[in-house]
Amino acid sequence: MNKKNALGKGLSALIPSYGEEKVEKHPENFTETKKLSTSAKEKVDKAVDNSNKVLQLPLSKVEPREKQPRIVFDEESLAELAESIKRHGVLQPILVSQKGDHYEIVAGERRWRAAKLAGLTKIPAILGSFDEKQINELALIENIQREDLNPIEEAQAYRQLIDEYGLKQDELAQRIAKSRTAVTNSLRLLKLDERVQALVMQGSLSEGHARTLLALADKKQQYALAQEILEKTLSVRETERLIKRMTAPAPEKKLAAYRDQTAYDELVLALRRSLGTKVSIRRTEQEKGQLVIDYYSVEELERIAALLK
């Protein structure tokens, strides 16, 4: 199997279509009716046991994978999917691999959870004959392409693909059909304090707020400011302004001497001696003003200019 090409298209290039199209609120509970090309069908036949046969597996025999990239499931959305399944059943089979006397979910854990919630005892499934590496990569990419991972889970899935499969960021971006910039920005979220990451995963802190916190190198500061954002319900723009003030370089200490008129008088005398002409300082406002150098001929101007150079 040309795994790289197939995975880049998600599971639609690996799993054949079943049933009629039903456009529900939850797209994972319907199957597209478009036919696979001959080449794609050949890839499916090599990867899927019993050709296109859908098995009805007991839910008790199906278990989620330990390395599932999705950790948090929205309970309200899951309940809505369960109601859809009660009305229409599970319209798109999940993909599983056999592990001893049970089956491990490669793709479709959300449907499996909703089916249990709906009170089903069996679930339609396709049994794959993928090796462990293919299963891991399939599961990661399928979850990423579902677009319902929270930002931290998505970043963790990117990191896992890069670390375990030796992908470069541009290769990963091409594989999942996203820009390299999007991948890079996502991975940067993993530099946040773990407590801040947890807030993002829980939905308490938005991705926009999280990105602004990356400007703080100190992780304790990141978490402290995250707490302040929640307590004061700061907007992203307000947070940016606050961080800008926090990270602004400390102003250089002014020379106290130049706040005194005597110091200015001494400076004027020193400049007159150096330039050999009349020099004056006109203070227009506090710590601002003009330095005026007089000249009385073109030759004197050229002499002063030479000295200044």
Residue 24: partners with Cβ closer than 8 Å, 6 or more residues away:
30, 84, 88
pLDDT computed for residue 252 by the predictor: 56
Domain boundaries, the chain: 3-131, 193-247, 256-308
pLDDT confidence tier of residue 76, bands split at 50, 70 and 90: confident
Stronger pLDDT, 214 or 141, i.e. the higher one: 214
Average pLDDT (31-40) is 33
pLDDT computed for residue 146 by the predictor: 58
Contact between 179 and 156 under an 8 Å Cβ cutoff? The reply is no
| pLDDT tens digits along 267-301 | 877 787 778 788 888 877 767 788 888 888 888 88
Phi/psi at 110 (5° precision): -65, -40
- Asked if the model's pLDDT at residue 30 lies above 80, the reply is no
- Asked if the model's pLDDT at residue 1 lies above 60, the reply is no
pLDDT computed for residue 64 by the predictor: 86
**Tokens 């978490």, residue?**
223
The answer to whether 109 is a known catalytic residue is yes
Q: What is the mean pLDDT of the chain?
A: 76
Distance CA 109, CA 116 (A): 11
DSSP the chain: --HHHHHHTGGGGTS---S-----SSGGG----PPPPHHHHHHHHHHBTTTTPPEEEEGGGEE--TT-S-----HHHHHHHHHHHHHH---S-EEEEEETTEEEEEE-HHHHHHHHHTT-SEEEEEEB---HHHHHHHHHHHHHHHT-S-HHHHHHHHHHHHHHH---HHHHHHHTT--HHHHHHHHHGGGS-HHHHHHHHHTSS-HHHHHHHTT---HHHHHHHHHHHHHHT--HHHHHHHHHHHHSPPPPPP-GGGGSHHHHHHHHHHHHHHHTS-EEEEEEETTEEEEEE--SSHHHHHHHHHHH-
Predicted TM-score (pTM) of the model is 0.48
pLDDT confidence tier of residue 72, bands split at 50, 70 and 90: low
Nearest alpha-carbon partner for 57 in 8, 106, 5: 106
pLDDT computed for residue 267 by the predictor: 81
- Asked if the model's pLDDT at residue 22 lies above 80, the reply is no
The structure tokens listed for 13 are 């290039």
| pLDDT tens digits along 126-163 | 888 777 677 667 666 766 665 567 899 889 888 988 88
pLDDT computed for residue 185 by the predictor: 93
pLDDT confidence tier of residue 250, bands split at 50, 70 and 90: low
CATH 3.90.1530.30 fits 3-131, yes or no: yes
pLDDT computed for residue 106 by the predictor: 82
Distance CA 159, CA 171 (A): 13
Distance CA 109, CA 147 (A): 14
The β-bridge relationship of strands 102-107 and 62-63 is parallel
Average pLDDT (218-236) is 93
**Share above pLDDT 70 across residues of the chain, in percent, rounded to a whole number:** 70
Residue 39: partners with Cβ closer than 8 Å, 6 or more residues away:
none
pLDDT confidence tier of residue 257, bands split at 50, 70 and 90: very low
Nearest alpha-carbon partner for 31 in 48, 11, 45, 49: 11
Q: Which of 32, 75, 76, 109 is catalytic?
A: 109
pLDDT computed for residue 283 by the predictor: 76
Lowest-confidence segment of 90-104, 200-214, 223-237 by average pLDDT: 90-104
